[in-house]
Structure 1
Amino acid sequence: MGLCCDCFRSNGYQQIGQERQGPRFGVRHLQCFLVFTGLAVAYALRVNLSVAIVAMTDRNPTNPDFQEFDWDESIKSYLLSSFFWGYVITQVPGGYLSYKYGAKYTFLFGVLICSCLAVLTPFCAEIGDWPLLLVLRATQGICQGMIFPSTHTFLSKWSPIEERGRLVTCCYSGSQFGTVIMLFVSGFMASSWMGWPSIFYASGVAGILWSIVWYMLSASTPAEHPFITNNERRFIDNSMSESRIVHTEQTRMLHSPPWLKILTSRPFLTLLLVHCSNNWGFWTLMTEIPTFMKNILGVNIRSNGPLSALPYLVMCILSFCFTILADFINGLNGITLSFSRKFFNTLGQWVPMCALITLGYITTSNTNVSTIAVTLLTVAVGVNSATYLGIQVNHIDLSPNYAGALMGITNCVANIIAIIAPLAVGVIVTDETNPMQWRVVFYVSASFYFVGSLLFIVFGRTNIQPWNYPSNNSGNSSIVVSKLDDESNDETSPLNNGN
């Protein structure tokens, strides 16, 4: 997977000395595999209650040896949403802390503490019933709020510009992989001799084991990793030099993110709006379409574990397919980084937009129509993974030094939108059997997809912003200096002119 680093004039480089190649498989790939598995564990910890709560409140339990709880729908809703109450709180602090102290440690503590709490979940539910469980889930959300910003900070240091889209996509596909695994196995564990507590024990122990491996084999930057070769470190450093990545802990301590410049930057504000629009559409698909299909088409997806996991499985598979397509497109002469980002983001938002509009006109309940509806839902969710190569990686494009802080801000606001979207559906849909009301919901969500993608096409940028470069008041150079003037980092430059 290593590519020539010094000959990529499209990313602002001139050929300097002998052309060097990074190893085809190196420490950077090991780091990305660890991120992939870490996100898989994190999402397994996030969705474990969604499946377990069915067995915990089952009035006709498949395994009567374990305690059941008399929780009504409102209590279950509070428990399922409490994770996100804490999750939105630590997004921005998580981005700042990962920048200041290193993403290795914020990612580590985010997963480790959440995993320990998962192991304690059955005990807390038994002694404190739902109030204590609600506090525990909110605390887990606080821990996991640091994970996505930490991931962006981590990848901004480890992913060479030439491989950035591919590595970021592969890492984030771990979230879908973890969701699929948890949805598939939870039902079997709940009905086995181990009962529903095993769902929390298994995911918690997996997270603790991953944390040990992560602590031993990861490093916040290539310079801090004990096993990386000089060749691979030079390859990454040369690729990063145009970005002026902050390398040392001393420099991280000296410079805080320029919050005012970030919050008044048009490319960043565009990214924020597009991230919010994508979350509105995506979470409408994931939270409300199953209700629509149950009441209008008579298909209960939530009661079918493999069927409920299908959209996530397709999303995981298509994310790898899109990286292959991206490599092909980026290899074409004259293709710019800006075009690539906007193409995949448009694909990831406008295909689900079309699927939502089509679903609004499916009102007949029969086997063939239900199959079409399930297919549309699966394709819509799956194709949304193309946004990993669009807005999801754009934070690093705009500011490699502060990518975690940017991700913290956008993910915080976008997750608030994800909470508001289902509430808005509740206002529009007063009769769940009325297809016309559902059609309005789909039109609204499709509009968010359309406008968001259009904003990114018109106002989105991929060149590094001036506020990415921390000023060095100490007079000691602790950043990697650009090999070319800033003007050369032009998003009209072709991706592959140097080959």
Structure 2
Amino acid sequence: MCSWHFAGGWPLIFYSAAVFGFVWGIIWILFYTNSPRNHRFISTQEKEYILQNTQQQLSNSNQNDFHVPWRSILTSPACWALFIVHTCNNWGTYTFLTSIPKYMNEVLKFNIKSNGFLSALPYIVLCLNTNISGITADVIIRKNLLTTTNTRKLFNILGNLLPAISVIGLAFMTCQLKYVAVVLLTIGVAFHGCCFGGGFLLVANDIAPAYTGIVFGISNALSSIPGIISPYIVGALTEKDPSNWRIVFFICAAIYIIGMIVFTLFGSGELQSWARTSVVARVSFENSLSKENDQSVKINNGP
């Protein structure tokens, strides 16, 4: 887009992002509701399924009665395992997003403009792998091949170990091996999809379904820190000496491994004792077949 003459070239990138934001906002306004009960486009069966399989407080009770176990969340090994692996994995994610284009240009002498497809390939494969990983993880759990915890650990190992190996390989690439570098980049980016589809990205809902938003919100906030630190470190290391890209990649690989080890040792995919709640959800069916029915569904994740 920067090379296009339309709309001044580089400003078109920001105009495009703004347009997508407006479109998404309109879609959100049209389809979002506070609860499944109020949604206009889902069936009665789907409403009932959602209510019976989530920990949302959907009754008309006082919302102030909802208690968040902050102490338990902030002292939970399972939560901290999630926070750490999320932060470590995001270090790699932000390194790929913000610094790899610079590496490809300065070290590999890679003309990104004339090889647009190769530049986009890692993210195309990432999208595919995320969906494949999600489906595969669900099948593994549903068929009781592995526990939820071991499934999450397996996909986190794949989503951290393989990117770590790929960035170590990138440390030894030269401009004569630019297409090998593309393969390594594709592996490194694409296997993040294992974490997204079957790994840590789902753990907050596994361990604390009643507090998923809170647990994941903390995790997401902490995992944003690498987005601030990583580009600065890359710039400081490589500004005067391009050979220091090796140090960048070794740091990245080490952080991947740290996150993987921590979650493998302390991570969990099982409901935590402090997250066991009993919620009464009042379900009002609104279609013509059950319009007059008023059904209470007892949801109890306790023993």
Provide TM-score, normalisation by structure 1: 0.52
Count of equivalent residues: 288
Is 1:452 aligned to 2:259, yes or no? yes
Correspondent of 1:439 among 224, 232, 246: 246
* Alignment partner of 1:229 is 2:37: no
The reply to whether residue 418 of structure 1 matches residue 227 of structure 2 is yes
What CA deviation, in whole Å up to 9, does each residue of 1:310-358 have, x standing for no partner? Answer: 3222211221222333344335444211121111111111110000111
Q: Pick from 51, 70, 87: which aligns with 1:276? A: 87
The partner residue of 1:258 within 27, 47, 69 is 69
RMSD: 2.8
Query: SS of the residue aligned with 2:33?
Result: coil
Q: Which amino acid aligns with 2:264?
A: I
What pairs with 1:100-499 in structure 2 (closer than 5 Å)? 190-192=4-6, 199-240=13-54, 244-248=55-59, 250-301=61-112, 305-362=116-173, 364-366=174-176, 369-388=177-196, 389-429=198-238, 431-434=240-243, 437-469=244-276, 481-483=298-300, 485-486=302-303
Contact 2:277 2:301 in 1 (8 A): no
Unaligned runs of 5+ in 1: 1-50, 56-186, 487-499
Q: Percent identity?
A: 34
SS in 1 for 2:270: coil
CA drift at 1:393: 1.0
2: distance between equivalents of 1:321 and 1:361?
Answer: 30
Cα distance change on mapping 1:355 and 1:251 into 2, 3 Å: farther
Provide the rounded CA distance (Å) in 2 between the counterparts of 1:273 and 1:426. 24
- For structure 2, list consecutive stretches of 5 or more residues without a partner in the other structure: 283-296
Task: Provide the C-alpha distance between the structure 1 equivalents of 2:60 and 2:11, rounded to a whole number of angstroms.
Answer: 42
Q: Deviations over 1:134-154 (max 9, x none)?
A: xxxxxxxxxxxxxxxxxxxxx
1:447 Cα deviation (Å)? Answer: 1.0
Counterpart-to-counterpart distance in 2, 1:191 and 1:304: 19
Q: Which consecutive segments of 4 or more residues in structure 1 shift more than 6 A?
A: none
Q: Normalization by structure 2: what TM-score?
A: 0.82
1:356 and 1:443 in contact (8 A); partners too: yes
Q: Per the alignment, in what secondary structure is the counterpart of residue 85 of structure 2?
A: helix
Match in the other structure for 2:291: none
Alpha-carbon distance between aligned partners in 1 of 2:57 and 2:121, rounded to the nearest angstrom? 41
Which AA in structure 2 matches 1:312?
Answer: Y
CA shift in 2, pair 1:249/1:423, >3 Å:
farther
Q: Distance in 2 between matches of 1:400 and 1:283?
A: 28
Deviation string 1:14-35 (CA, Å, 9 cap, x unpaired) is xxxxxxxxxxxxxxxxxxxxxx
CA offsets 1:384-407 (integer angstroms, 9 cap, x no match): 111112111111112222211222
Q: What is the SS of the residue equivalent to 2:268?
A: coil
Q: Distance in 2 between matches of 1:345 and 1:221?
A: 32
CA deviations on 1:222-272 (whole Å, 9 max, x unpaired) are 2222443332222223333xxx43223645443253322211111111111
